[in-house]
Structure 1
Amino acid sequence: MSNETPWNFLMDMDGVLVREEHLVPGADAFVAELRDNGIGFMVLTNNSIYTPRDLQARLKRTGLEIPEASIWTSALATARFLDEQRPGGSAYVVGESGLTTALHNIGYVLTDRDPDYVVLGETRTYSFEAITRAIRLVENGARFIATNPDEKGPSREGSLPATGAVAALIERVTGRAPYYVGKPNPLMMRSALRTLGAHSESTLMIGDRMDTDVRSGLEAGLQTILVLSGISDRDTAELFPYRPTKVMNSVADLVGITHDPFGTTAAAENA
């Protein structure tokens, strides 16, 4: 990869740019370098609770200036998928504004009467009544979609059940497994690439998790960077049967080399 064909960047949000509402040191300089040099990038998250505008405001509070159009969520990826599968359809949604807004924006009708789909996302308050309704709709033939397979999320008090855990409950009752759109499904990578207008051969994925970020990047044909500022460490990375292209401490290590993150130009010049 030469300077004439610059890299584009897909990157996870939590553990890569921010960590529990705090900026990862150097992430602001990294993002500023991307923006100042006109390098294409998208920030990805499996969290379907928030709209891109909500997330933009959250990131701004940490000191990161990220355009709303550069944020791609599992809710947006799910809406894109459903729009391609069944345009103008209907859905019963268990989730919050990030998901309902995304579905409204593609012209979906949200209903609990004979919907085409049951769409499960994250919410702070899973309702037993809503889950029961979802179960009965799936039993009656609604197709079952979940925004992501993450089983738990963090809170100050400890772990919280997330989409994957509630999806497992519905699957256990109905015998119907959901289709998961978010990471590690490479579908989310590909939809982000199309939105960015980038090609997999000139794009790399930065993440802090081997099982979602690195795997989805790998399966979508992207080069991958594992950063150690989040969940995975070097020992964790060795447990998996696949490897990232490169391991770095954080995105701060990319400052100054975003045009050539793997040193290919220098290697070619020294050959």
Structure 2
Amino acid sequence: MLGEKKYFLFDIDGTLAVDTTLYDGTKEFLEWIEETGGRCFYITNNSTKSRKDYVEKFKNWGIRTEESQFMTASYAACLYLKKYYEGKKIFVLGTPSFIKELKEAGILVTEKAEDHVDCVLVGFDSTLNYDKMTDACRLLFQKEVDFLGTNPDLRCPASFGFIPDCGAICRMLEVTAGRKPYFIGKPNRLIADLCMQQCKGSPEEYLVVGDRLYTDIACGIEAGIETAVVYTGEADPEEVRTSIWKPDYAFDTIRQLYDAVRKARGEGAGR
């Protein structure tokens, strides 16, 4: 039930904002959650920014956050590589911010198709070029080199529509090299589990909120917590009707979800 929710796991792009513009109701909702003893987490598959970058981005919106509130695909990748590829060389196809975050986590990173590479890791790379793709293919044709992706999202919301995301980049490599990646970010429940470990609340107190069924909603379902979709990004009512990933709640906007949560708690509409 919405009235029980205390901990909210929000996707960002297409859910709370598009590009640098917050959706109506976002700031009020996030502030209300914190003011009423709840906690906001941000579970984004966008690997172009580090957690520090997101703290600054939210600061520019007038929203105070801490790094621990951001469970990004890039941060999850750092944890995954530390666990399974400690001391091994990783070829990374990603932005300078992503590569910096990996290096700061102690990951041995290269951006060239060198010898003794153990894994190709692909992120949402807004600095992508053909040379990078060629190097990735050169490595992926070596069967002993593993193939990882930060997230399976095919497109990312933009002010004019959508732009290619990590899943689309991986799809190009897949059809070229005949290799399928293992994705670390949503719908992998790892990101949701990292949030739940911080608060120790019961599953009934959590809600995953997102605009994409096969990542956001699937992640919540995999983690065993309720989900809400908003129709400001990729999903629409027809997709919800036909999808295997069924959200528990659906709203046109984040403002409508905010109002519904307050109503469920016996309060009036949002500010």
Which range, TM-score by smaller chain?
A: 0.7 to 0.9
Is the contact between residue 153 and residue 215 of structure 2 (CA under 8 Å) also seen in structure 1? no
TM-score by length of 1: 0.83
Q: 1:232 is matched by which residue type in structure 2? A: A
Written as runs of structure 1 = structure 2, the 5 A alignment for 1:182-221 is: 182-194=185-197, 200-221=203-224
Which residue does 1:231 correspond to in 2? 234
What residue in structure 2 maps to residue 167 of structure 1? Answer: 170
1:245/1:101 CA distance change after superposition, 3 Å: same
The 10-residue stretch of structure 1 (89-98 or 55-64) with the greater mean CA deviation from structure 2: 55-64
Is the deviation greater in 140-149 or in 225-234? 225-234
CA 173–16 in structure 1, closer or farther in 2 if over 3 Å, else same: closer
2:19·2:158 contact (CA, 8 Å) conserved in 1?
A: no
Consecutive unaligned residues of structure 2, counting only runs of 5 or more, are 267-271
Could you say which residue in structure 2 is the equivalent of 1:151?
Answer: 154
State the Cα deviation string for residues 191-210 of structure 1 (Å, max 9, x = none). Answer: 34335555544321011222
Q: Distance in 1 between matches of 2:203 and 2:118?
A: 32
Partner residue of 1:249?
A: 252
The Cα shift of 1:147 comes to: 0.6
> What is the CA RMSD across the aligned residues, in angstroms?
2.8
Query: Match of 1:45, SS?
Result: coil
In the alignment, what sits opposite 1:109? Answer: 108
In the alignment, residue 100 of structure 2 is paired with which amino acid? Answer: T
Q: Deviation digits for residues 151-174 of structure 1, max 9, x if unmatched?
A: 233556765333222212222233
Aligned twin of 2:269: none
Measure the CA separation in 2 of the matches of 1:257 and 1:91.
Answer: 45
The DSSP-based 3-state class of the residue aligned with 2:90 is strand
Does the CA-based 8 Å contact 2:150-2:183 persist in structure 1? yes
**How many residue pairs were aligned?**
262
Distance 1:70 1:237, change over 3 A: same
Q: 1-side partners of 2:199 and 2:97: how far apart?
A: 20
Counterpart contact for 1:10–1:205, Cα < 8 Å: yes
The answer for unaligned runs of 5 or more in structure 1 is: 267-271
Give how far 1:253 is off: 3.7
The equivalent of 1:125 in structure 2 is 127
Quick one: distance in 1 between partners of 2:75 and 2:228?
A: 24
Change (3 A) 1:14 1:95: same
Contact 1:144 1:178 in 2 (8 A): yes
Is the 2:121–2:150 Cα contact (8 Å) retained in structure 1?
yes
1:60-99 equivalent positions in 2, closer than 5 A? 60-99=59-98
Q: After superposition, what is the alpha-carbon deviation per residue over 1:135-188, rounded to whole angstroms, capped at 9, x for unaligned? A: 222223221111111223355676533322221222223322110112222233
Q: Percent identity?
A: 28
Counterpart Cα distance in 2 of 1:216 and 1:252: 22
Tell me how far apart the structure 1 counterparts of residues 210 and 2 of structure 2 sit (CA, whole Å): 23
| Structure 1 letter corresponding to 2:56 | A
d(CA) in 2 for partners of 1:124, 1:139:
24
Aligned to 2:9: 10
- Tell me the equivalent position of 1:37: 36
Aligned partner of residue 10 in structure 1, secondary structure:
strand
Residues 182 and 188, structure 1, Cα contact 8 Å, conserved in 2: yes
Tell me if structure 2 keeps the 8 A contact 1:41–1:196. no
Per the TM alignment, residue 97 of structure 1 is displaced from its structure 2 partner at its CA by: 3.1
> What is the CA distance between 1:48 and its match in structure 2?
0.4
What amino acid does structure 2 have at the position aligned with 1:85? Y
CA separation in 2, counterparts of 1:48 and 1:134?
Answer: 18
Q: Tell me, what secondary structure is at the counterpart of 2:239? A: helix
**So what's the TM-score if we normalise by structure 2?**
0.83
Q: Is the 8 A contact 2:217 2:228 kept in 1?
A: yes
Q: 1:110 and 1:222 mapped to 2: Cα distance?
A: 35
- Give the Cα separation in 1 of the matches to 2:254 and 2:164: 29
